[in-house]
Chains A and B, each alone.
Chain A
Amino acid sequence: MEPQGIFRGTIPLLEKTLDLRSIRHNLIISNVANMDTPNYKAFDIVIKEELEKAMGAGKNIKLEKTGPGHLSGRETCPGNVKSRAAGTQQFTMKGNGNSVDIDREMANLSENNLMYNALAQIISRKFEGLKNVIKEGR
């Protein structure tokens, strides 16, 4: 069900991105856990192309312009973006057929962690803003 009213717009988008970040976190840590497993191939999430597909699906909502100087906005809610796991680079630097590059994985881990925290903060602020409006700023 599509959310209605004040919960429409950025909140479902942020929810979805948090979801995808936590999926990516799981993939990264399974790569880290399996860094010494023979023949294990590293995985990462592929969302860019799916996101582009969803953005280009013609679901654009035009912002209403009440004055000639207003900018046109583009807002989409990619609510059902699919994610899939795909192998990253398949060449290996180790003798046992394992393709986990630990430097890359740790960098991805901290990047993903930071982005998750940022998104959690944004969604938190969003709710704070709504609360402020509901309480009429008191």
Chain B
Amino acid sequence: MNFLDAFHISSSGLTAQRLRMNLISGNLANINTTRTQQGGPYKKKDAVFAAHTDRQSFGNMLKSQMTGKSFEVKVVGIIDDPRPPQLKYDPQHPDADKNGYVAMPNINLIEEMVNMMSATRSYEANVTAVKATKNMALKALEIGR
């Protein structure tokens, strides 16, 4: 049924945006973290999204041929931002190097806030899409009542 597909697509979008939001919260919480298990300062995390369509089975292949393309969002990985850590002069800090510089996480507060707004809006758009799908499905059930 078409509407179940629609719900799956929107829920994949909701999941992806929620994950992104979690990563942003993690980045904001760790904006001053200088010690991690891997050693060195915390690195900014980011999610990689990919448009995904499952064409493995015959049924899915047939469906995509009959109803056209539609893509779910798939999170293909969580990456560490490769930007170098920001150096801050603080000789009193226990993690300072011999020149007195502390390697702070490569997180830009403004960038995180902007990404957070973007994730919120994307999430809201997907919620609206779910509502619209539900509305349409209910209307279809009313036919012939």
Contacts and interface: CB of A to CB of B under 8 A. Distances in A.
Q: How would you classify the secondary structure of chain A's contact residues: helix, strand, loop or mixed?
A: helix
B68 A23 contact: yes
A85 B136 contact: no
Interface residues of A, number: 37
A61 B119 CA distance: 53
Contacts of B39: none
A36 B48 CA distance: 9
Interface residues of B, number: 40
A34 B75 CA distance: 11
Interface of B: 2-3, 5-6, 9-10, 12-13, 16-17, 20, 48-51, 67-73, 118-119, 121-122, 125-126, 128-129, 132-133, 135-136, 139-140, 142-145
16 contacts: A18-B140, A23-B68, A25-B133, A26-B70, A27-B68, A32-B13, A32-B126, A32-B129, A33-B129, A36-B118, A40-B71, A83-B68, A112-B132, A116-B136, A120-B139, A121-B139
